[in-house]
Amino acid sequence: MKFLSLLLAGLAFVLAGCTSISTHSSTNLKKYKRVFVEHLLTDNLHVDDLIVAELQRRGYETAKGPLTMMPDGMDLVLSYNSRSEWDFRTYLIEMSVSVRTVITGEEVAVGHIYQPNIRLKSPPEMVHAIISPIFPPR
């Protein structure tokens, strides 16, 4: 009986620390070619650089910066929010993305990832986990 209660407590501990990922896209984003990543001024982990690198690996043309500096000819704008924590090192705990078209401003995709667990994904792994279901390889 004691073994069973320890096993259940351990299982609850492990399950409570699972990473949660949710994404939704209302259209196939493969038909778009150029993505502008809006720079978040409070981003100390340079998540925008990680997003740009992930999108380029997937075959998209990218640019980043403040929205007012967006180059002509962009198809999509990707905005993000990230939350980091410090526990003897800084790590990314939560991130949300929103993708909208440049012409209409219509939101075409969203994503959210949250990792409250002990075995943390690195920021590049988190970016890959949220970007890959939204943006198929070109």
The answer to which of 11-20, 67-76, 103-112 has the lowest mean pLDDT is 11-20
Identity of the amino acid at 118: I
92-116 average pLDDT score: 94
Model pLDDT for residues 17-53, shown as the tens digit of each residue: 567 888 888 889 999 999 999 998 888 789 999 999 9
Give pTM, 2 decimals.
Answer: 0.83
* Least confident among 42-46, 69-73, 88-92, 108-112: 88-92
Under 8 Å between Cβ of 62 and 138: no
Residue 40 has which token pair?
A: 């978040």
The two tokens of residue 99 are 């993708």
Does residue 10 or residue 82 have the better pLDDT?
82
Of 131, 126, 106, give the one whose Cα is nearest residue 116: 126
Instruction: State the pLDDT at residue 84.
Output: 83
CATH architecture of structural domain 19-131 = 2-Layer Sandwich (3.30)
Domain boundaries, the chain: 19-131
Cα-based distances in Å from 107 to 14, 94, 138: 35, 20, 20
Q: What tens digit of pLDDT does each residue of 113-129 get?
A: 999 876 778 889 999 99
Strand, coil or helix: 100: strand
